């Protein structure tokens, strides 16, 4: 059968996200005392126990903490329940039974899905005496846990294992965190969708999936977690990482927003390609450039997605609008290496095909780097054509002894080569001349969107 899905449901602030992190073995969901932090559905593979399954975290049902999103969160939770094979109904055993708990129980009884009642926040055995009140909910199978302290998780794993076995789940294969010698290389492409708040990142992912997978709102800051969404297009697997909008540090007004921004930055680091979503109607702002500089610092391939194209230069012809966008990207994001851009209207699901056309071109052109011999001839010829400037002291001019290509394919499906230059003194390489050498290499490689990374090393003098 297909991989079973385990959905975690419950009212806000009962510890669903903390329990989700324990089950998947990674800190994916943001855990905070503030109710209603999780809004979108998060999903990841179960890493506890012997069987394969997908674990899905949901926003709190009956959330009154943020009434702007209460209806959308409940809708997302209902979708998760409909898609689930097993439901973990999470309650806070330290608090009295609430009407919201009772309402959720009624929904679950109507669904006829196997339910395991998880009485969370049972930090001590004394708190397990509270089950009498929760027996009113009518679920025969229950377990006490403390996700914060790891208590009861082995019992929970055993109970889940029995339920998954009954469903015919496949036995989980042992996995390693990092690809090692002899392991099967990763084939899915991780796409981090990044940008400032309200640029249309979640709308873009929904347009690609042709599904309302993430919550979309005109309110900036709707997405808080970095949501990983598996996606298959043709024969290629992708992971779309929807991230929180990254505001300037001085304007992050809560600890939740700080954690969200940290998750977004981490998503850039673990991505194969970054899709930088820009509101074309508003133009490229200072914060867009800050996010682009983060992508450049992490040396990640990038595609600029100019969203809301239908609102950009509405009176001009389509060609004039494209030319204007191209000039804008080249001028404002000049520090990204010949970055390609696409124009889309995510809300109307127009232009998303061009993203994958550009991505496929980027993927195919990424291995098109010169060999060692060709690279040395290319750079020596460039330095003869345009010699480096002389240094301050006599005879102190940059000399290139040798160049080679270092390639680390271990952590990326689309590797970024590093061009290692061995010179007499790396301090003699000015920023402008380094950019000249990068331009020379880029003109040979022709891989738009792939960073041209130089690593310059001085010759080691030996006595």
Q: What is the mean pLDDT of the chain?
A: 79
Strands of 18-150 (E only): list them: 42-45, 54-57, 86-92, 115-120, 142-144
Residue 80: what pLDDT? 67
Kindly tell me if the per-residue pLDDT of 34 is higher than 50.
Answer: no
CATH topology agreement for domains 5-167 and 189-365: yes
Mean pLDDT of 39-62: 75
Residue 381 pLDDT: 94
Q: Residue 403 and residue 375: Cα distance in Å, rounded?
A: 7
Q: How many residues does the chain have?
A: 463
Burial letters 367-405, b for 16+ CB under 10 A, else e: eebbeeeebbebbeebbeeeebeeeeeeeeebebeebee
Query: Is the distance from CB of 208 to CB of 159 less than 8 angstroms?
Result: no
Instruction: Report residue 30's pLDDT band, with 50, 70 and 90 as the boundaries.
Output: very low
* Model pLDDT, residue 35: 41
- 364: pLDDT strictly greater than 90: no
Domain formed by 5-167, architecture: 3-Layer(aba) Sandwich (3.40)
Tens digit of each residue's pLDDT (9 = 90 or more) over 368-425:
888 889 999 999 999 999 999 887 665 688 999 999 988 766 557 888 889 999 999 8
User: Which pLDDT does position 54 carry in this prediction?
Assistant: 85
Q: Rounded to whole angstroms, how far apart are CA atoms 195 and 276?
A: 6
Contacts with 96 (C-beta within 8 Å, 6 or more apart), sequence order? 133
Taking 60 as the threshold, does the pLDDT of residue 50 lie above it? yes
Binned at pLDDT 50, 70 and 90, residue 246 comes out as low
Instruction: Give the pLDDT score at 346.
Output: 87
Query: Is the model's pLDDT at 254 over the cut of 70?
Result: no
Question: For residue 305, what pLDDT band results from cuts at 50, 70 and 90?
Answer: very high
Tokens of 118: 């998880």
Q: How confident is the model at residue 37 (pLDDT cuts 50, 70, 90)?
A: very low
**Sequence spans of domains, the chain:** 5-167, 189-365, 372-458
Q: What is the mean pLDDT of residues 330-350?
A: 87
pLDDT of residue 320: 87
Structural element, H or E, at residue 72: helix 70-83
* Ramachandran category for residue 446: left, alpha or beta (phi over 0 → left; psi -120 to 50 → alpha): left
* Rounded Cα gap, residues 57 and 336, in angstroms: 36
CB 40 within 8 A of CB 3: no
Burial tier of 202 (Cβ tally within 10 Å: 0-12, 13-18, 19+): buried
Tell me the range of 72-81, 150-159, 446-455 where mean pLDDT is highest. Answer: 150-159
pLDDT over 70 percentage in the chain: 77
Q: What is the pLDDT of residues 82-133, one digit of tens each?
A: 778 999 999 998 888 888 888 888 888 888 889 999 999 988 887 777 677 8
Closest to 370 in 3D by CA, of 382, 361, 357: 382
78 burial level (CB within 10 Å; 0-12, 13-18, 19+): middle
Contact 398, 424 (CB under 8 A): yes
- Answer whether 63's CB lies under 8 Å from 73's CB: yes
Beta strands in 337-435 (DSSP E): 341-343, 400-406, 418-423
What is the rounded average pLDDT of the residues 240-252?
A: 63
CA dist 156 and 150 (Å) reads 11
- CA dist., res. 232 & res. 360, Å (int): 14
Q: 3-class SS at 108?
A: helix
| Least-confidence region, from 56-60, 186-190, 297-301, 390-394 | 390-394
Sign of CA dihedral 432, 436, 441, 444: positive
Residue 185: band (very low, low, confident or very high) from pLDDT cuts 50, 70, 90? low
Pick from 22-31, 216-225, 310-319, 340-349: least confident: 216-225
C-alpha span between 250 and 53 (Å, rounded): 41
Rounded average pLDDT over 22-45: 58
Specify the pLDDT at position 70: 46
Alpha carbons 273 and 290: distance in angstroms, whole number: 17
Q: Which pLDDT value is given to residue 227?
A: 67
Class for domain 189-365, per CATH? alpha beta
Least confident of 5-9, 77-81, 167-171: 77-81
pLDDT band at 182 (very low <50, low <70, confident <90, very high): very low
> Is residue 205 within 8 Å of 267, Cβ to Cβ?
no
For 88, the 3-state DSSP assignment is strand
Cα angle: 142, vertex 145, 47; to 5 degrees: 95
Res 275 pLDDT > 90? yes
Tokens representing residue 211 in the block: 């599904």
Fold assignment, 372-458: GMP Synthetase; Chain A, domain 3 (3.30.300)
Given a cut of 70, whether residue 169 has pLDDT beyond it is yes
Q: What pLDDT is attached to residue 265?
A: 79
pTM of the model: 0.62
Mapped onto helix, strand or coil, the DSSP state of residue 148 is coil
Q: What is the pLDDT of residue 385?
A: 94
- Give the torsion sign (CA, 390, 393, 394, 398): negative
Higher pLDDT, 66 or 290: 290
């Amino acid at each position: 059968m297909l991989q079973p899905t385990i959905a975690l449901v419950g009212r806000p602030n009962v510890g669903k996200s903390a329990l989700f992190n324990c089950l998947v073995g990674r800190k994916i969901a943001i855990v905070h005392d503030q109710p209603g932090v999780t809004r979108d559905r998060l999903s990841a593979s179960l890493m506890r126990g012997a069987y394969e399954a997908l674990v899905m975290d949901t926003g709190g049902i009956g959330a009154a903490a943020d009434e702007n999103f209460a209806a959308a969160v409940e809708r997302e939770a209902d979708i998760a329940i409909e898609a689930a094979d097993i439901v973990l109904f999470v309650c806070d055993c330290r608090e009295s039974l609430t009407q919201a708990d009772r309402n959720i129980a009624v929904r679950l009884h109507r669904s006829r899905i196997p339910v395991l009642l998880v009485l969370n926040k049972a930090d001590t055995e004394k708190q397990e005496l509270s089950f009498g009140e929760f027996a009113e909910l009518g679920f025969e199978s229950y377990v006490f846990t403390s996700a914060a302290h790891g208590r009861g998780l082995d019992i929970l794993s055993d109970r889940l294992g029995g339920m998954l076995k009954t469903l015919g789940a496949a036995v989980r294969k042992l996995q390693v965190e990092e690809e090692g010698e002899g392991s099967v290389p990763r084939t899915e492409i991780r796409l981090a969708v990044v940008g400032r708040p309200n640029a249309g990142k979640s709308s873009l992912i929904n347009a690609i999936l042709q599904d309302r997978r993430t919550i979309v709102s005109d309110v900036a800051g709707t997405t808080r977690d970095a949501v990983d969404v598996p996606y298959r297009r043709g024969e290629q697997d992708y992971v779309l990482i929807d991230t929180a909008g990254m505001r300037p540090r001085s304007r992050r007004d809560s600890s939740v927003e700080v954690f969200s921004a940290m998750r977004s930055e981490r998503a850039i680091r673990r991505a194969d390609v970054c899709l930088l979503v820009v509101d074309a109607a508003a133009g490229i702002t200072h914060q867009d450039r800050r996010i682009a500089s983060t992508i450049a610092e992490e040396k990640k391939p990038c595609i600029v997605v100019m969203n809301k194209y239908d609102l950009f230069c509405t009176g001009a012809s389509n060609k004039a609008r494209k030319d204007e966008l191209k000039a804008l990207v080249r001028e404002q994001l000049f520090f990204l290496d010949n970055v390609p851009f696409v124009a889309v209207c995510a809300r109307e699901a127009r232009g998303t095909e061009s993203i994958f056309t550009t991505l496929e071109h980027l993927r195919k052109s990424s291995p098109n780097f010169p060999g060692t011999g060709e690279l040395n001839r290319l750079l020596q010829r460039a330095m003869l054509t345009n010699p480096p400037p002389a240094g301050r002291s006599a005879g102190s001019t940059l000399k290139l002894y040798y160049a080679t290509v270092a390639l680390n394919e271990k952590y990326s499906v689309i590797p970024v080569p590093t061009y290692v230059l061995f010179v007499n003194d790396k301090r003699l390489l000015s920023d402008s001349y380094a950019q000249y050498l990068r331009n020379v290499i880029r003109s040979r490689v022709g891989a738009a969107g792939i960073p041209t990374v130089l690593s310059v090393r001085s010759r080691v003098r030996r006595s």
